[in-house]
Structure 1
Amino acid sequence: MLMPLGALVALASPAQAAEQATATFSKPSDWGSGFEGKWTIKNTGDTTISGWTLKWDFPTGTKVGSAWDAAVTNSGNTYTAKNMSWNGTLSPGASVSFGFNGTGTGSPSACTLNGRPCDGSGGGTPDDAPPGAPGTPTASGITDTSVKLNWGAASDDKGVKNYDVLRGGTKVATVTGTTYTDSGLKAGTSYTYSVVARDTADQTGPASGSVTVKTTGGGDGGGEPGEYVNLGYFTEWGIYGRNYHVKDIVTSGSAEKLTHINYSFGNVQNGKCTIGDAFAATDKAYTAEQSVDGKADTWDQPLRGNFNQLLKLKKMYPHIKVLWSFGGWTWSGGFPDAMKNPAAFAKSCNELVNDPRWEGLFDGIDLDWEYPNACGLTCDTSGPAVMRTMAQAFRAEFGDQLVTAAITADASSGGKIDSADYGGAAQYLDWYNVMTYDYFGAWDKTGPTAPHSPLTSYPGIPNQAFNSDAAIQKLKAKGVPAEKLLLGIGFYGRGWTGVTQKEPGGTATGAAPGKYEAGIEDYKILKERCPANGVIAGTAYAHCGNEWWSYDTPATIAGKMDYAKQQKLGGAFFWEISGDTANGELITAIHNGLNR
């Protein structure tokens, strides 16, 4: 069923004396809060159309997610769709369709096709051809805080109106000439620039080649991280509802502060490592605006998706190492079966991690088994030696590449740390990501309220062994070198509702509402929705209305990083990167805390 634009984006009258086209919108599927959208473009004129650009507005709250058969970008609520290389030519009477997944309930408005109304009305000669690519910028006048760029002019049949200057794939300026000075930069830091031309019909062409420039100065190490590990998890599924992409690592200013990224998660099935979501990992097409380097994917390139974007990120920030993390809470159930043949298991993982299709992407593997010889979502009874056996097999298979593991932080007597030989396994691993969070939460729906990531114990804590320091000390006592331990930080909070008491220890009636799941919420949301108004055991808590939340802030992270350095730990890691603010304030707090 066709949906109206205003009333309806109607087909124009069939007799046209010149180039003419229409666009209609429909929703083949609609499930209330989301829908599948479809645009159909038809050539209703008598001349061939070579290339099309469709623009429309969605009301606030309605957004485009993944798209197919068109390159779709947006600026606020205005969306632009451009043909692919294989569907831009329309002979008279021909039509083409493209689709996308959307959220919200609104309908499009203010639609134009090649600069003319989508109902086929409007006179004049449309500007059909987008401009060409400008020349690759050259840099001069480089200082500690600025760089001057110059580039060759782009060509266009109707004339170039202006240029967008992209830094790290994000627009930083629009200029009418072919020169721009970017200022306010950081000393001793690398920046990558490209330029896109815009014609008089407001169509943008392909990006220029890119140039990477490093500002002068930066005797304190500039923007690059120091000796400590600052590792973040990037979730494969975050590109969907969370709309968090590899490029956001750059635009937030986080790339220069990270040392490692754990790509999560691969699955463990039938004794082997397998890809979790192939579309997200290798197939999703990125437009120039969405891409790390400002260059769009093509339909026929062999590798797209997150993997290609991460390769681009590594090219731009060569200090970053990327590991592929397998398992996690949901996909740990395959480990016990796989460990019946450790060598074959490790070999399958090596073949996948180092597959030639994404050569150079991964620097190693992270094993996130929750939990060996203990219970997580499922229970394992492989025996305490299984952790050491697994680590030994993977070290033998992966050689000099990184081999790490995410492990429990349960320091209780007879608890999960005691269930497996983490001390014996440590000799084969580069480090452990100690998951020092999720100690307390609304799975105990009536409380008592308690911070989910306490650094230390405190009077009234529901379990004396559930704190970061207890876990670190127990692992060190079992023979794990301090430098092989990373302190875990949650970029989210856990909360209860039905709480009247500000301080920890209050009663509750259940889990507080969360955007994606009850009882859990991203830091970037909580800092505005329920600001912290107390600190206990090295972490923050907040009471707002009848809700009680606990989470880390830049200030409490600074304290935790002091602890990590005092204990001579290898650094810190966090779960997970999309929970941070748009300017990366939590990653910055880890970076500053470790390197000051």
Structure 2
Amino acid sequence: MRVVPVVLSAALLLVGACDSSSPAAPPPAAPAAEKRVVGYFTDWGVYGRNFQVRNVGASGAAGELTHLVYAFGKLDGGRCATRDSWADYEKPIAAADSADGVADTRGTGLRGNFGQLRKLKAAHPRLKVIWSFGGWTGSKGFAESARDPDGFAASCHRLLTDSRWAGVFDGIDIDWEYPNACGLVCDTSGPGALPALLTSLRAAFGPDALITAAVPGDLGKLRATDYAAAARPANWLSAMTYDFFGTGAGTGPTAPHSPLTAYPGIPRATATTDATITALLELGIPAEKLLLGVGFYGRGWTGVSAAGPGGRASGPAAGSFEKGIEDYAVLRETCPPTGTAGGTAFALCGGQWWGYDTPDTIGTKMAYVRSRGLGGAFAWELSGDTADAQLVAAMSAGLRP
């Protein structure tokens, strides 16, 4: 019979706990989602640039990145295909260039970049690898792909899951420049073409695969496609918030190619990272599904005397691989910053004027990513960084809570 008072006491305690007059303890806050730190690796970089998969690990970048995007696969008859089979999976990698210091043996095992990516993932298990298709020179084939989205998606799934490199790729990226607009070629597939491709890819690859797409920074091109619909099946969209200005008109005016915000005298006030991100958010794309793009290179002119942006020039400056463009790793030594404009750096040295991002200006951009609640940032592309990955480190540090 002594059990009864105990039960009643417990009941009374329960009633007291539910009394509205007693302040309830707040629920624990949900942990903040990890920001994505994404870097593109180009297949052609292993040639003249001699930037190998090994460098991603040796520089420390692999420890900072959450995702590596391998560029590019190509479109062949509207289907996914390898662009450079020698670099991708045939080339034997010497021990000195190998991610684990072990040379490939010709005729056995997975070789080339794919074999190295498998080794890099083994050393960095949290790193995800995505295969990107298209790019500036490789986007023409998407028009044919758009006529049969399911067939396109099935071909991509077969390629990425090929038994020779099974487990290397965690998903696919579509870099279509540009759907229903003009890039190197013009496209008239309609505003629903990209969403249809991504929807078919999601169906083919399933819910756990990474499905991503690059999107333009130009506001006019953003109006040509239904990017809100494209975002629904995608894990994220990567906004190409760089190359707003270039050296094609060799006489200037000089302007940094990737301003975060407008500055006095900017040639086009809407050609900024902030304007692009704001436009994408206004389209209804969730902030957490947007990545901000950072260029690991500068664009520059020669024959310039004006220290700030807006000066006249005689033509594009010389670059290591292309006129008017140079890697950050080179510029930080040959033409260090002399000022900032619109949240990015510029430099005047020996008659050359360059605009580019530095660890400091990347820090500013990462603070912007956090302030807008974006999903993270990506870099085009990793070979432009220093040997100790200063720019990737700045991205990673700037995105930490």
Q: TM-score, normalised by structure 2?
A: 0.91
Q: Is the 8 A contact 2:146 2:194 kept in 1?
A: no
Report matched runs for 1:15-54 at 5 Å.
Answer: none
Match for residue 387 of structure 2 among 578, 582, 590 = 582
Match of 1:594 in 2: 399
2:252 partner letter = G
Match of 2:241 in 1: 436
CA distance in 2, matches of 1:575, 1:503: 25
CA distance in 1, matches of 2:330, 2:175: 27
Structure showing greater relative contact order (alpha-carbon pairs closer than 8 Å, 6 or more residues apart): 2
Match of 1:407 in 2: 215
CA distance in 2, matches of 1:390, 1:441: 31
CA distance in 1, matches of 2:61, 2:247: 31
Q: Is the 8 A contact 2:261 2:273 kept in 1?
A: yes
Deviation string, structure 1 residues 43-79 (Cα, Å, up to 9, x no partner): xxxxxxxxxxxxxxxxxxxxxxxxxxxxxxxxxxxxx
Match of 1:419 in 2: 224
Match of 1:469 in 2: 274
CA distance in 2, matches of 1:471, 1:525: 28
Q: Show structure 2 runs of 5+ residues with no match.
A: 1-32
1:465 partner letter = T
Match of 2:46 in 1: 239
Match of 1:10 in 2: none
Match of 1:107 in 2: none
Match of 1:251 in 2: 58
Report matched runs for 1:384-403 at 5 Å.
Answer: 384-399=191-206, 400-403=208-211
Match of 1:314 in 2: 121
Shift of 1:302: 3.2
Shift of 1:538: 0.5
CA RMSD of aligned residues (A): 0.9
CA distance in 1, matches of 2:252, 2:87: 38
Match for residue 369 of structure 2 among 564, 580, 584 = 564
1:533 pairs with 2:338: yes
Match of 1:445 in 2: 250
Secondary structure in 2 aligned to 1:496?
strand
Q: Is the 8 A contact 1:485 1:570 kept in 2?
A: yes
Secondary structure in 2 aligned to 1:443?
coil
CA distance in 2, matches of 1:357, 1:436: 36
1:542 pairs with 2:347: yes
Secondary structure in 2 aligned to 1:289?
helix
CA distance in 2, matches of 1:384, 1:448: 34
Shift of 1:436: 0.3
Q: Is the 8 A contact 1:498 1:508 kept in 2?
A: yes
Which structure has greater helix proportion?
2
CA distance in 1, matches of 2:41, 2:321: 17
1:509 pairs with 2:320: no
Secondary structure in 2 aligned to 1:541?
strand
Shift of 1:299: 1.6
Q: Is the 8 A contact 1:451 1:550 kept in 2?
A: yes
Match for residue 295 of structure 1 among 102, 116, 128 = 102
Q: Is the 8 A contact 2:202 2:233 kept in 1?
A: yes
CA distance in 1, matches of 2:146, 2:265: 41
Shift of 1:288: 2.1
CA distance in 2, matches of 1:476, 1:498: 40
Secondary structure in 1 aligned to 2:118?
helix
1:356 pairs with 2:163: yes
**Rg larger for:** 1
2:123 partner letter = M
Shift of 1:369: 0.2
CA distance in 2, matches of 1:571, 1:493: 22
Match of 2:298 in 1: 493
What count of residue pairs does the alignment treat as equivalent?
368
Deviation string, structure 1 residues 510-569 (Cα, Å, up to 9, x no partner): 111001000000000000111110001110000111111000000000000000000000
2:290 partner letter = L
Match for residue 73 of structure 2 among 244, 266, 275 = 266
CA distance in 2, matches of 1:456, 1:290: 40
Which structure has greater strand proportion?
1
Shift of 1:584: 0.6
Report matched runs for 1:58-457 at 5 Å.
Answer: 227-399=34-206, 400-411=208-219, 415-457=220-262
Match for residue 459 of structure 1 among 264, 285, 289 = 264
Match of 2:15 in 1: none
CA distance in 2, matches of 1:338, 1:545: 48
Q: Is the 8 A contact 1:424 1:479 kept in 2?
A: no
1:437 partner letter = Y
Secondary structure in 2 aligned to 1:513?
coil
Secondary structure in 2 aligned to 1:301?
coil
Deviation string, structure 1 residues 287-315 (Cα, Å, up to 9, x no partner): 22221112111122131000000000001
CA distance in 2, matches of 1:470, 1:323: 28
Q: Is the 8 A contact 1:561 1:593 kept in 2?
A: yes
Ranges of 4+ aligned residues in structure 1 off by more than 6 Å:
none
Q: Is the 8 A contact 2:35 2:399 kept in 1?
A: yes
Q: Show structure 1 runs of 5+ residues with no match.
A: 1-225
2:331 partner letter = L
Secondary structure in 1 aligned to 2:39?
strand
1:546 partner letter = G
Shift of 1:573: 0.2
Secondary structure in 1 aligned to 2:223?
helix
CA distance in 1, matches of 2:345, 2:142: 35
% identical equivalent positions:
54
